[in-house]
């Protein structure tokens, strides 16, 4: 096991930390900034970001992308996925990503369809 051989680079080598402890604090700073941005956007809700883009508000897309950014750093640096072998990494990540896309596609598609059935008047929504 590569106990002490931590990969200390993030952003593809743009930032290189001196020690593992330093990297942990660095990642904390990053996660805090991302969360602060999310909360600030959530409270202020800028008018420009409320328009629709590919089925959802731009703001919601921003939230989802920022969440994936956070998830990446939690898995890669807190859970040390960066230091695992490529095989383990792919086994865990791609399996989950494939199943997430699959289930989300099916259920969200179906939910939208049911909504259409209601709103197109095949079933009356009683008040």
- Are 66 and 40 spatial neighbours (Cβ–Cβ below 8 Å)? no
Return the residue of 8, 31, 49, 58 that touches other proteins, per CB under 8 A: 31
User: In the set 15, 33, 37, 104, which binds other proteins (CB under 8 A)?
Assistant: 104
Residue indicated by tokens 């990503």? 97
For residue 63, the surrounding DSSP H or E stretch is helix 58-73
Q: How far apart are CA 73 and CA 34, in angstroms?
A: 11
**Interaction residues for other proteins, span 41-80 (CB under 8 A):** 42-43, 50, 60, 63-64, 67, 70-71, 74-75, 77-80
Contact criterion met (CB below 8 Å) for 58 and 51: yes
2 makes contact with other proteins (CB under 8 A): yes
Start-to-end CA distance of the chain, whole Å, equals 63
Quote the CA–CA distance of 38 and 124 in Å, as a whole number.
38
> Is 38 among the residues that bind other proteins (CB under 8 A)?
yes
Residues in touch with other proteins (CB under 8 A): 1-4, 20-21, 24-25, 28, 31-32, 35-36, 38-39, 42-43, 50, 60, 63-64, 67, 70-71, 74-75, 77-80, 84-85, 87-88, 91-92, 95-96, 99-100, 103-104, 107-108, 110-112, 114-115, 118-119, 125-127
């Amino acid at each position: 096991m590569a106990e002490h051989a931590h990969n200390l680079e993030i952003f593809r080598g743009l930032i290189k930390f001196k020690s593992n402890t330093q990297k942990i604090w660095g990642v904390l700073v990053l996660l805090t900034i991302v969360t602060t941005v999310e909360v600030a956007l959530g409270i202020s809700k800028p008018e420009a970001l409320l328009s629709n883009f590919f089925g959802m508000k731009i703001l919601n897309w921003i939230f989802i992308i920022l969440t994936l950014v956070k998830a990446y750093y939690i898995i890669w640096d807190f859970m040390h996925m960066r230091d695992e072998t490529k095989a383990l990494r792919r086994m865990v990540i791609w399996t989950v990503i494939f199943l997430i896309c699959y289930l989300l596609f099916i259920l969200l598609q179906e939910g939208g369809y049911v909504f259409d059935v209601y709103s197109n008047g095949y079933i009356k929504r009683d008040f």
